[in-house]
Structure 1
Amino acid sequence: MTERLSLAVLDSLPDDVEVPRYARADLAQGIVHVGLGNFHRAHMALYLHDLLQEGRDHDWAIVGAGVRPADTTIRSDLEAQDWLTTIVELDPETDRAVVTGAMIDFVPVADGNGPLITRMSDAEIRIVSLTVTEGGYYIDAATGEFDPDHPDMVHDAEHPDAPRSVFGAMIAALRARREAGTPPYTIMSCDNLPENGHVARATVLGLAKKIDPDLAEWIGTEVAFPCAMVDRITPATSDRERQMVRDRYGYADERPVTCESFRQWVLEDRFPQGRPAFETVGVTMTDDVAPFETMKIRILNGGHAAMAYPSALLDIHFVHDAAAHPLIRAFLDKIEHEEIIPIVPPVPDTDLAEYYAQVIERLENPGVGDTVARLCLDGSNRQPKFILPSTRDRLARDEGIEGLSLVSALWCRYLQGKSDSGAEITIDDPMAETLHDHAVRAKDDPMAFLEMRTIFGSLAREERFTKPFARHLRALEKEGTERVLRRYVEG
């Protein structure tokens, strides 16, 4: 029987698996992280593991947490492994397998979030970090402002001692710390959205004002919300990855993470209660994250969004196959070089053309096994952040958006639910039903898709966008994805 990953088996693992050189018993909590998905464990937790390997900052260990029912299963799986995780970095040259031990506990998941509030109230916790997805901040996509009328926010305002959301729990813990005379922790978003620190601050303060305006004023003055740019491709774990660990390394891990070898973290250096020495393990600490963030969101994430939907409509499963497809690659190159990269502001010590070339290398990596379906999910949150800002910027400069409007049309065509071959498409999005309904109605009236205010906002009234969108959508339905892409690529 294959042994399960745990502290007891670390000494017997193969030599090509890196294991913690630090004693877990010597670690003390310093960070509560909410959202123990694959990205966090292959990114922030791995940076901290690398730091612990250097023999320093042992008082910054991670305590995991979650507020969703599904987090109970994650907690159970990781508890059985003494909170250890196998990270396999897949690289065309050589892979790297690491067992990380930076997490030392996981708060029990409970209705009302009492255990989480208690843990975040502890003076030893100096950072609370988040990966709760781009859409998890209760922000109205049309206005960019906090949405006080969301049912979760209404509930938490009415039940501040038993909140439903992580933001309600953070506010309750900050109130407890204030009453105890304990300095507040820093709130650090690690989610992939523009100005994530400002977004987190807007949500926390927006909810706090509904609960206790005086507390909200104190939070606004005393709590730091640093911005961060994060980057690493981390596909979802399936039986494929679990079997990979068994076959290659001879042990079982129920929650392994495979990822690309590339990773990047640019972090605003605002931590009043201190922080780990992240700069010693490759994190870029800076006073201004914005240029790095804009580059990444527009070029990388925008590129993902541009290639995802035509690839799905052509029944391409893996991202590396899409990147190698001559027409998809030509489409991506053209829209990046002609419409996206030219409006990205300069980034310190960075050549944007070289950055894009690196993006292509990452997309072409077959070892990662990233899927087109993953790039397509959650479009209602991703399109307004990754594609439409470039569209708006080009219109503000009175520059063309032929390619960007085509991306929006391709998304609409995808949401109709069938690929060009007639294969069924599963729409993975919190707004799936609404999106599908509007996309189907757009067959007769393209404006039926653009009328979704929370996504398109004022663009629905901008003829320089609506006209090419409608033209592209009708062509996609009449001629098919391949012919429309080819016409765009050939100019």
Structure 2
Amino acid sequence: MTSLTNQNLPEIGQRIAVPGYDRAKLSPGIAHFGVGNFHRAHQCVYLDDLFATGRDQDFAVVGLSVRTEDKPAFADMRAQDGLFTVTEVDDGLFRPRAVGSIVQLVEPGDREAILTTLTAPEIRIVTLTVTEGGYYIAGDRPDLQHPDLVADTGDLSAARTVFGLILSAIRIRREAGAPPFTVLSCDNLPHNGDLTRGIVTGLAERVDGELADFVRREIAFPNSMVDRITPATNQTQIDTLAREKGVEDKRPVFCEPFIQWVIEDRFSAGRPALEHVGVTFVEDVTPYELMKLRILNAGHATIAYPSALLGLTYAHEAMRDDLVLRFFDDVERTYLLPASPEIEGVSRESYLAKVTERFANPAIADTIRRLCLDGSNRQPKFVIPALREFLAEGREVSGLAMLQALWCRYCYGELEDGTQIEPNDPNWDALREAARAAKDEPRRFLQQRGIFGDVADSEAYAEIFSRHLRAIWEKGTRQAMEDYLSGARR
């Protein structure tokens, strides 16, 4: 067994792919908040590929986190000189590589060290993968009244949130005459750049009007669309990597072969030439974003809740279950695909076919529980916007109502056999309370205005949702779904 370190790369390179460049020649240019599996399987891989071409080796990554619970992971990666493996898996495919694009990992929660990194003139881009729940969203916009954000604006010099630290760094750099950086969100949110701009600018307005004007004028917040299915790593995967390749990696990542990144080409102080390794730069990311959020992300929700209620464990099992697969195909083709924009040179049908293939990948072992996670934040981003559009156009929405009725039944917190569902949402207590009230009064679930917004005002939708939820409780999940698929759309 060989430990993953710079010193051991020559030996490891005889077993798996290793960085095709001299890591000693890398220098920082990107500071990244949220060094989790997705970031390492996505942004770090693109940069690793780019550095191997000899280009832009001054855009290596410094890893940051405001979460002290990330200390063990950062310590493990530091012991490996920032190296980690990314293994692409599919049916019959097991392709690991060592990735070397992270050159420094700052102690999580150390605000002074984080600010030192963010204010270094060589840092030209700040990227984020802090998850959907990390943006302080209430309803469809950030909650600038959240106590964490209020505390930051009360004393910016002591800021501790990601956004407060970014704003503090912007102010320090401005006062020092250092060039402004770009803030690039890589989280799976609609218009993630606009959202990030809204938070940072909103905080700046509370601190200093001139600082807010500077943010609007000088700081770029390009929107981006990211995609690669990257579940949590399990022990079986770690053991397989060690057994088959003889590589000891304390923090390995496993993901699907598919990867995509689309970015609006607006940067404050230059960018790496990632177009040479497959990144798509566009003027407006919106159509790409909507296609992905609706066909893929809402598609995940479509299989997640019925599969959980039917006792399935993995996404690939869901795609082999005839009932779940038929429901997925119906909702995709009737609602989600039509609600997705047409893009020149991109086929929605082909995209759906690829998504279906990706969901069925057994080697990923993507858990249904992961897909069910954080519905209170994901439903308003992935499903409800399409639902709102259909209602505004007077189109039928029965399938989307069934999807949300299944989510409500899941939030009840108990399967049909009495098995308890462990909390799986930051707002689990409120969801469960609403779902339990909805067993007798279905509309109670829709009264969660922070999730459903004005959709809750639609009498037609409330009636369809209520009918589906009653059917699930009276007949059970499987029969209610069969009845829906048999044509009961009214």
Question: What is the TM-score normalised by the length of structure 2?
Answer: 0.98
The Cα offsets for residues 315-365 of structure 1, whole Å up to 9 and x where unpaired, read as: 100100101110000000011111111121211211101110000100111
Match of 1:348 in 2: 344
Q: Structure 2 CA distance, aligned partners of 1:424 and 1:250?
A: 40
Aligned residue for 1:127? 125
Query: 1:229 pairs with 217, 225, 228, which one?
Result: 225
- Match for 1:114: what amino acid? E
| Matches for 1:329-478 after TM superposition, within 5 Å | 329-478=325-474
- Asked whether the equivalents of residues 16 and 97 of structure 1 are also in contact (C-alpha less than 8 Å), the reply is no
Cα drift, residue 16 of structure 1: 4.5
SS across alignment from 1:135: helix
Q: CA deviation at 1:241?
A: 2.3
Tell me the residue number matched to 1:6: 5
Q: CA deviation at 1:93?
A: 4.9
How far apart, in 1, do the equivalents of 2:417 and 2:288 lie?
A: 39
Residue 467 of structure 1 deviates from its aligned partner by 0.6
Q: Assess if the C-alpha contact under 8 Å between 1:317 and 1:372 holds in 2.
A: yes
- Give the equivalent residue in structure 1 for 2:94: 95
Residue equivalent to 2:302: 306
Which residue type is aligned with residue 21 of structure 2? Y
- Bigger shift: 336-345 or 162-171? 336-345
Structure 1 residues 66-105: aligned runs within 5 Å = 66-105=65-104
Alpha-carbon distance between aligned partners in 1 of 2:247 and 2:338, rounded to the nearest angstrom: 49
- 3-state SS of the aligned residue for 2:396? coil
The aligned residue for residue 247 of structure 1 is: 243
RMSD: 1.1
Deviation of residue 220 (structure 1)? 0.8
Aligned to 1:114: 112
Structure 1 segments of 4+ aligned residues over 6 angstroms from their partners: none
Match of 2:136 among 128, 138, 145: 138
**Matched residue type, 1:175:** R
Paired residues, what number? Answer: 487
Further displaced range: 208-217 or 384-393: 208-217
CA offset digits 1:39-73 (Å, max 9, x no partner): 00000000000011112111010000000111212
SS at match of 1:31: strand
Deviation at 1:95? Answer: 2.8
SS of alignment partner, residue 104 of structure 1: strand
Question: Aligned ranges for residues 54-73 of structure 1 at < 5 Å?
Answer: 54-73=53-72
Q: Distance in 1 between matches of 2:368 and 2:109?
A: 35
The residue aligned with 1:175 is 171
Question: Which of the residues 319, 322, 332 maps onto 1:323?
Answer: 319
Aligned-pair CA distance for 1:237: 1.6
Equivalent residue of 1:46, what SS?
helix
Is structure 2 residue 151 aligned with structure 1 residue 152? Answer: no
Q: 1:291 aligns with which of 287, 290, 293?
A: 287
Give the Cα–Cα distance (whole angstroms) in 2 for the partners of residues 20 and 346 of structure 1. Answer: 38
Distance 1:416 1:254 in 2: 37
Q: Deviations over 1:204-244 (max 9, x none)?
A: 11111112221111111110001100000000022222212
- Segments of 5+ residues of structure 1 without an aligned counterpart are none
Structure 2, unmatched stretches of 5+, are none
Partner of 2:29: 30
Task: Please say which of residues 424-433 and 300-309 is displaced more in the overlay.
Answer: 424-433
The question of 1:19 aligning with 2:15 is answered: no
Identity %: 46
Contact 1:109 1:115 in 2 (8 A): no
State yes or no: 1:219 paired with 2:215. Answer: yes
